[in-house]
């Protein structure tokens, strides 16, 4: 009896010490995480909730996130409202419960999560180097708890039974990787590689639906979080698209500029790409499109450009709506890119054209008749094979547009 009481007291002392060590470590990590993401407008709490949302496969409620994190629903809802203001999550009404909202990541939120993954690695090294005693204290006490039995025999250190593992019976290919090797790919990168291999080999074609997330994880012998991260990354790069509801899932996307545009858009929103750099590249691309169009363009290409210019002139002369002419003005650049017959050129111009059109719409800029004249001069030079003249005309016109956008006194509110 006395021995049992002494053992219980000793276990209580160990548990209290572990609790205090956990509190110290939690306070340390909270402070370090706050500092690590302050420039993104985040806090440790926002980081925690954003990651929890990112782990979900479908839109979920605040209550669901709260249960996952073991904190109150009200606290989670407040943080979700903050994240929605930062355009990192989207809140929508729940058709099944009008009192609740469903939350899901935006494209910007996905990009920010990728950045947070990188900062986690930096944070890990910083904590290990700068706060080693606190970390070591907690790990020692936690390890001692498992060894001495303060968990009252509930340790879960036993090896899993043979029946608990999932057999890999599906025909997905596997790659030999050494996780201990320097610069070894992370698990989600291996999953990305498998999916890309299937597309390259012709096993998956445009429009095909990938196996469900659970099946992918089982067949590749990885966690669902790694599969989820790989799918999200492939969506951002324009390889996959997602469809919700019955018959939904991850599908191989037709080739397009969405992934490029999304990446450029995110860099602009996060302040990692100066607008001047984007506009400088735009002017160069359009000049090269005109040059290649003069060399490779067909009569059909030039006819499409003529029709577009006629529509633009009609809009400029007759429409009262200030922004009505932006659509045909933007479409001209797409058609010019297609006259180059260079697939990458087409993708790049399409991606940038959408962004510039969005900015011009916010400025309520109305194209002028001189823009019509510049376009006609460019097409005339292309028809006659005068590549240098065609490039010079469109580049000069592009510089005028660039100056207009750069003179804007307010930042552009690009949609995430």
Query: Rounded to an integer, what distance in angstroms lies between the CA atom of residue 367 and that of residue 384?
Result: 26
Say if residue 44's pLDDT is above 50. Answer: yes
pLDDT in tens, 314-347: 888 886 666 788 889 889 999 999 999 998 899 8
Residue 220 is encoded by which pair of tokens?
């590749």
List C-alpha distances in Å: 86 to 65, 112, 291. Answer: 19, 11, 42
- Taking residue 80's Cβ as centre, other Cβ atoms within 10 Å add up to 23
Query: Rounded to an integer, what distance in angstroms lies between the CA atom of residue 252 and that of residue 94?
Result: 28
- Higher model confidence: residue 2 or residue 33? 33
Say if residue 378's pLDDT is above 90. Answer: yes
Average pLDDT, the chain: 79
Mean pLDDT over 51-58 rounds to 84
Mean pLDDT over 52-75 rounds to 83
* Per-residue b or e along 183-205, where b marks 16 or more CB atoms closer than 10 Å to that residue's CB: eeeebbebbbebbeebbeeeebe
Q: Is 74 left (phi over 0), alpha (psi -120 to 50) or beta?
A: alpha
Query: Rounded to an integer, what distance in angstroms lies between the CA atom of residue 354 and that of residue 348?
Result: 10
- Higher model confidence: residue 65 or residue 390? 390
3-state DSSP call for residue 66?
helix
Q: Which residues pair with 61 in a beta bridge?
A: 102
Residue 100 is encoded by which pair of tokens?
């609740």
- Higher model confidence: residue 286 or residue 137? 286
Query: Rounded to an integer, what distance in angstroms lies between the CA atom of residue 262 and that of residue 283?
Result: 20
- Pair 289, 381: CB distance under 8 Å: no
Q: Are β-strands 97-105 and 89-94 bridged in parallel, bridged antiparallel, or unpaired?
A: antiparallel
- Taking residue 94's Cβ as centre, other Cβ atoms within 10 Å add up to 15
In this structure, of 235-239, 300-304, 356-360, the range with the lowest mean pLDDT score is 235-239
pLDDT at 322: 62
- Taking residue 274's Cβ as centre, other Cβ atoms within 10 Å add up to 12
List C-alpha distances in Å: 117 to 25, 56, 77, 187. Answer: 20, 16, 23, 13
Number of residues that make up the chain: 416
Residue 357 is encoded by which pair of tokens?
């059109």
3-state DSSP call for residue 241?
strand
Query: Rounded to an integer, what distance in angstroms lies between the CA atom of residue 366 and that of residue 360?
Result: 8
Element of type H or E holding 108: helix 107-130
- Pair 316, 365: CB distance under 8 Å: no
Percentage of the chain modeled with pLDDT above 90: 18
- In this prediction, residue 112 has a pLDDT band, given cuts at 50, 70 and 90, of confident
Query: Rounded to an integer, what distance in angstroms lies between the CA atom of residue 259 and that of residue 262?
Result: 5
pLDDT at 253: 77
Residue 292 is encoded by which pair of tokens?
């290649």
pLDDT in tens, 189-241: 888 888 888 888 888 888 888 988 888 888 888 888 888 888 888 876 678 88
3-state DSSP call for residue 98?
strand
Q: Mean pLDDT highest for which of 50-59, 90-99, 105-114, 379-388?
A: 379-388
pLDDT in tens, 133-182: 776 776 776 665 544 454 444 444 433 333 333 333 344 444 444 444 44
pLDDT at 397: 87
Mean pLDDT over 388-412 rounds to 85
pLDDT at 65: 85
Mean pLDDT over 61-90 rounds to 85
- Domains belonging to the chain, first-starting first, are 2-106+118-145 (1.10.10.10), 186-255 (1.10.10.10), 274-406 (1.20.120.530)
pLDDT at 319: 67
Q: DSSP characters for 333-363?
A: HHHHHHHTT-HHHHHHHHHHHHHHHHHHHHH
> Nearest to residue 336, comparing CAs of 366, 312, 313, 308?
308
- Pair 22, 138: CB distance under 8 Å: yes
3-state DSSP call for residue 196?
helix
């Amino acid at each position: 009896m006395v021995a049992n009481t002494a053992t219980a007291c000793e276990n209580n002392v160990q548990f209290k010490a572990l609790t205090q060590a956990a509190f110290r470590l939690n306070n340390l990590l909270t402070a370090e995480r706050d500092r690590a993401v302050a420039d993104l407008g985040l806090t440790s709490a926002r980081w925690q909730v954003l990651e929890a949302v990112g782990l979900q496969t479908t839109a979920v409620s605040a209550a669901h996130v709260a249960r996952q994190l073991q904190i109150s629903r009200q606290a989670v809802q407040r943080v979700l409202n903050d994240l929605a203001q930062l355009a990192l999550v989207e809140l929508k009404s729940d058709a099944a419960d009008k009192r609740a909202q469903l939350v899901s990541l935006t494209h910007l939120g996905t990009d920010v999560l990728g950045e947070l993954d990188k900062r986690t690695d930096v944070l890990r090294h910083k904590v290990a180097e700068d706060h080693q005693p606190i970390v070591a204290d907690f790990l020692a006490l936690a390890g001692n708890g498992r060894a001495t039995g303060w968990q009252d025999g509930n340790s879960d250190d036993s090896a899993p039974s043979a029946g608990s593992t999932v057999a890999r019976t599906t025909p997905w290919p596997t790659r030999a990787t050494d996780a201990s090797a320097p610069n070894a790919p992370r698990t989600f990168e291996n999953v990305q590689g498998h999916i890309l291999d299937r597309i390259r080999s012709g096993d998956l074609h445009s429009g095909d639906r990938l196996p469900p997330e659970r099946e992918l994880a089982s067949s590749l012998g990885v966690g669902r979080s790694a599969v989820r991260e790989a799918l999200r990354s492939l969506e951002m790069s324009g390889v996959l698209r997602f469809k919700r509801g019955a018959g939904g899932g991850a599908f191989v996307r037709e080739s397009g500029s969405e992934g490029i545009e999304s990446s450029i858009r995110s860099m602009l929103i996060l302040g990692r790409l100066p607008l001047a750099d984007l506009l400088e590249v735009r002017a160069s691309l359009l000049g090269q499109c005109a040059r290649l169009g003069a060399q490779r363009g067909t009569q059909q290409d030039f006819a499409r450009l003529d029709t577009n210019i006629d529509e633009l002139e009609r809009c400029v002369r007759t429409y009262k709506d200030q922004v009505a002419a932006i659509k045909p003005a933007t479409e001209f650049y797409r058609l010019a890119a297609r006259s180059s017959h260079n697939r990458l050129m087409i993708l790049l111009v399409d991606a940038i054209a959408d962004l510039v059109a969005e900015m011009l719409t916010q400025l309520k800029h109305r194209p002028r008749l001189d823009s019509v004249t510049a376009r006609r001069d460019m097409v005339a030079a292309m028809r006659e094979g005068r590549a240098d003249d065609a490039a010079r005309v469109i580049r000069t016109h592009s510089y005028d547009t660039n100056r207009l956008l750069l003179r804007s006194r307010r930042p552009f509110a690009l949609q995430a």
